[in-house]
Amino acid sequence: MLVGLLITLLIVMAILIMMKKWHTKQLPGYIALLAPLIASGVFISQIPKVLNHHYLIEIYQWLPSYDINLVLRLDGLSLFFALLISLIGVAVFFYATQYLSYKHDDLPRFFTYLVLFMFSMIGIVLSNNTIILYVFWELTSVSSFLLISYWYDRSESQKGAMTSFMVTVFGGLAMFVGFIMLYVMTGTNTITKQIAMREEIAMHPLFIPMIVMLLLGAFTKSAQWPFHFWLPKAMAAPTPVSAYLHSATMVKAGIFLLLRFTPILGYSDFYAYSVTFVGLLTMIYGSFTAIRQSDLKGILAYSTISQLGMIMSMVGLGGGIAKATDTVMVEAYAYVLFAAIFHLFNHALFKATLFMGVGLIDHEVGTRDIRYLGGLRRYLPLTMLAMFAASLSMAGFPLFNGFISKEMFFEGLIHAYKLSAFNQVLTVVVATVGFVASIFTFVYALNMIKVTFFGETRIKKHLHEPKFFIVPAMILATLLPVIFVIPNTIGTYIIEPAFLSVVSNTEKAEYAPHLAAWHGFNMPLVMSLAVIAIGTVIVWRLDLMKYVIQKEEKWSIPKMLDYSGHSLETYSGWGLRALMNNRLNYYIIVTFAFYFVINIYGLWRVGIPELYRIEVTDYHIFHVLLLVTIVLIGLALIFIRQRLTMVILTGGIGYAIALFFILMRAPDLALTQLVTETITTVLFIVSFSRLPNIPRGQFNLKRESVKIIVSLMTAITVVGLVFMIQQADALETISVFYHDAYEKSGGKNIVNAILGDFRALDTMAEGLVLIIAGFGIYTLLNFKDRRGQDERE
């Protein structure tokens, strides 16, 4: 069923690709809408089975000897994320059909990318094999690159796509290294088997390095400080992409990774400290920076960074449940971990709603700058209601679902001292940071609504609110107070199964908390009320903070990266221009000089053998005659000026070497040399026959001396390699490994077995190089210089 779903999504993508040249108006969007609808139906139908712990597992072998197989598993955690991806996907896909225009946008291309994005995320959450998870992980980076650069003629789209791609791919490679370490420690790539070996992994020397690699993957994907800067740049994407990326897909992948491996990672206090404090730092940085933004999408981008930091901190605080044994500690860990999953669900709802509202404002008004907005409640009342409800939920206001998870967040912070990795001092620190960051969150959430929808009207043109356009946002906004009233329904059917899969321990799973709108009059409630009171005062008098808020940052990570990128581009351009000067002789000299330096280093490390120890085989007069012939032809090539004569003499050297092979009883090498030399000589003659036979310049002693020196350096390089090979007697010959090729690969021809089995990937790469070279040659042959044609036309 799971593989069938993925194949269905691929079929939808294929249909969209085939629609590329059809005149279909809005049809591609409605066909693409089938993808999240089908996925939603499949995952909703599996809720009863998952509740009864009947997990769906599908295994398709690929490389079983390396335990690299397509293993898909639908448990509580994967079902939770799959439901978010598919159900939010329904809203986003429908919203995109209203947002984009078939007259101005390439709808088949856009929806193909969007379905690929959804396909990649579903693949991540279903994967039960680390290598397959990595493949889908990088597919999200590729598909997000395509979506962010959808308007590829805009410079901000190009920069945003490249920045997000480079950062997330770097993190993905680090995560892949961590997966390899896990394989070294466990001998398997199957995630459930690795989790079952968590105690052995925790004792391994590679445990901490593996954690660092996985954290790099999670922090880059989920935009944690200092890797957060790619997310605001990704705002160049169309708003439906931003809504999907921020609410239910790419940025949640890093959190999913940590939740999936919590039973392993939680054995380390280093993990708890790192994730908690990076999350809190990201939360307070993102919330404060959001206040300073004037672009609505910029505010939402930094609010996503802040909210992800909040969830990340709770994941870090709750990670220690893996090794906890004390009842009080287990209960504290379970509470904050459950809160992290619940707030992840809440964030998906209110963030998708906010982005859809901002997209409608941008679509109708033509600007997202709050300095030019105001009084929109008169023209966009439904949009105001949806965004107001979502903002209050994000701010943690009572009567909305975000209030419950914010209360649980405060509860987790003030009881952090119950956890093994934290004491009273650290508890005060994390509680203070979380409290201040929550105040900033309240400020930017309410100020955004205040400036945009209230106050003086600055828009002069006539506006209308497309009712069909705002339907998805209104539906999601309606769920926000509904979940506040019935939170435990969501907790029982969606959150609790995910929590049970994270804990991976039936005994500890009993500590899952009961969700309720009212937790009594306690410290978290006092903190929530204080956030509301202080935040309201700040929003009311925000102009008093303008100096602090609007003060330009002299040093920031994005600025430093832009500066370093500009410097790198400048110096690399200078280096390339100095090296690539369109002179073939210069290229040859640089190449041979490079190999000569490497050869000298090798001889220095290995040592030059004494002459009397060099073994010289028997030779006779024919060897001497061939050697003299080659030397004479080589000397003649220095003085001859006609190119055709030079080609023929060069071929003569090749044929003389083939005769050497015959005399040394190697007819197969001789035959290969003869064929290669003949083809090369004929190709050169044919090529030169199409060019004017312009003789070379007159003999120049300086120029020819350089060529002779380069030739001698090449000869020394070859002889030096022979010396180094003779010195390498301590290494075992590789022929022993290939000797039993028939038993290992079933190939009777050892050469074919080496090329087709032992060096299969290398052979495939060589084939790809030839294909790329062929495309390059084809492009050059069909290239037409169009410079100046536009002016002439």
Q: What residue spans define the domains of the chain?
A: 1-216+223-262, 266-540, 583-738, 739-793
Query: Please, are residues 465 and 374 in contact by the beta-carbon 8 Å criterion?
Result: no
DSSP 148-213: HTSSTTSHHHHHHHHHHHHHHHHHHHHHHHHHHHHHHHHS--BHHHHHHTHHHHHTSTTHHHHHHH
Q: How far is CA 406 from CA 308, 392, 531, 712, in A?
A: 13, 12, 11, 75
* Sequence-distant (≥ 6) Cβ neighbours of residue 63 within 8 angstroms: 69
pLDDT on residue 791: 42
Residue 788 has pLDDT above 60, yes or no: no
Q: Which residue has the tokens 């370490």?
A: 181
Instruction: Summarize pLDDT for 341-381 with one digit per residue, the tens.
Output: 999 999 999 999 999 999 999 888 888 888 888 888 888 88
pLDDT on residue 119: 93
Chain centre distance of CA 615 = 55
Instruction: Summarize pLDDT for 497-524 with one digit per residue, the tens.
Output: 999 999 876 666 778 888 888 777 889 8
Sign of the dihedral defined by the CA atoms of residues 711, 715, 718, 720, in that order:
negative
pLDDT on residue 787: 47
Give Dmax (Cα) for the chain: 107
The helix (H) or strand (E) run that includes residue 337 is helix 327-365
> Peptide bond before 692: cis, by omega within 30 degrees of 0?
no
Q: Token pair of 223, please?
A: 């935009």
Q: Token pair of 733, please?
A: 């010959």
Q: How confident is the model at residue 387 (pLDDT cuts 50, 70, 90)?
A: very high
Residue 106 has pLDDT above 90, yes or no: no
Q: How confident is the model at residue 108 (pLDDT cuts 50, 70, 90)?
A: confident
Q: How far is CA 52 from CA 46, 57, 128, 511, in A?
A: 10, 15, 20, 18
DSSP 43-102: HHHTHHHHHTT--EEEEEEEEGGGTEEEEEEE-HHHHHHHHHHHHHHHHHHHHHHHHS-T
- Beta partners for residue 257, in sequence order: none
* Sequence-distant (≥ 6) Cβ neighbours of residue 5 within 8 angstroms: 38, 39, 42, 122
Nearest to 221 by CA among 252, 260, 245, 267: 252
Q: How confident is the model at residue 552 (pLDDT cuts 50, 70, 90)?
A: low
* Sequence-distant (≥ 6) Cβ neighbours of residue 413 within 8 angstroms: 317, 427, 430, 431, 434, 435
Higher pLDDT, 323 or 164: 164
Query: Please, are residues 207 and 269 in contact by the beta-carbon 8 Å criterion?
Result: no
Q: How confident is the model at residue 313 (pLDDT cuts 50, 70, 90)?
A: very high
Q: Which residue has the tokens 């740049």?
A: 233
Residue 129's φ and ψ, nearest 5 degrees, are -135, 130
Classify 788 as helix, strand or coil.
coil
Task: For residues 371 and 379, give the distance between their C-alpha atoms in angstroms, rounded to a whole number.
Answer: 18
Query: Please, are residues 354 and 391 in contact by the beta-carbon 8 Å criterion?
Result: yes
pLDDT on residue 352: 93
Instruction: Summarize pLDDT for 184-238 with one digit per residue, the tens.
Output: 999 999 999 999 999 999 999 999 999 999 999 999 999 898 888 889 888 888 9
Nearest to 422 by CA among 261, 275, 203, 262: 275
pLDDT on residue 707: 76
Residue 460 has pLDDT above 70, yes or no: no
DSSP 8-state symbol, 757? I
Residue 793 has pLDDT above 50, yes or no: no
Classify 233 as helix, strand or coil.
helix
Single-letter residue type at 527:
M
Mean pLDDT, rounded, for 38-62: 91
pLDDT on residue 259: 94
* Sequence-distant (≥ 6) Cβ neighbours of residue 384 within 8 angstroms: 376, 377, 449, 453
Residue 273, CA atoms < 13 Å, CB-side half-sphere: 10
Q: How confident is the model at residue 614 (pLDDT cuts 50, 70, 90)?
A: low
- Beta partners for residue 71, in sequence order: 59
Classify 516 as helix, strand or coil.
coil
pLDDT over 90 percentage in the chain: 37
Burial of 631 (0-12, 13-18, 19+ CB in 10 A): exposed
pLDDT on residue 121: 94
Q: How confident is the model at residue 140 (pLDDT cuts 50, 70, 90)?
A: very high
Query: Inter-axis angle of helices 467-485 and 76-99, to 10 degrees?
Result: 150
Please tell me whether the overall predicted TM-score, pTM, comes out greater than 0.85 for this model. Answer: no
pLDDT on residue 542: 67
pLDDT on residue 551: 55
- For the ranges 172-186, 296-310, 398-412, 683-697, the lowest mean pLDDT is seen at 683-697
pLDDT on residue 564: 61
Higher pLDDT, 608 or 384: 384
CB atoms within 10 A of CB 66: 11
Task: For residues 578 and 710, give the distance between their C-alpha atoms in angstroms, rounded to a whole number.
Answer: 20
Q: Token pair of 527, please?
A: 């903190």
pLDDT on residue 349: 94
Instruction: Summarize pLDDT for 249-291 with one digit per residue, the tens.
Output: 889 999 999 999 999 998 998 999 999 999 999 999 999 999 8
Distance, first Cα to last Cα, the chain: 58
Cα dihedral 441→442→446→447 (10° resolution): -60
The helix (H) or strand (E) run that includes residue 687 is helix 667-689
Give long-range contacts, CB 8 A cutoff, 24+ apart: 707-713: 707/585, 707/638, 708/638, 710/588, 710/589, 710/592, 710/593, 711/634, 713/592, 713/593, 713/596
- For the ranges 104-118, 130-144, 580-594, 696-710, the lowest mean pLDDT is seen at 696-710
Q: Which residue has the tokens 């899952």?
A: 512
Indicate the average pLDDT of the chain.
85
Task: For residues 361 and 381, give the distance between their C-alpha atoms in angstroms, rounded to a whole number.
Answer: 11
pLDDT on residue 477: 93
Task: For residues 38 and 5, give the distance between their C-alpha atoms in angstroms, rounded to a whole number.
Answer: 8
- Beta partners for residue 68, in sequence order: 63
* Sequence-distant (≥ 6) Cβ neighbours of residue 75 within 8 angstroms: 50, 55, 497, 501
- For the ranges 491-500, 565-574, 609-618, 622-631, the lowest mean pLDDT is seen at 609-618
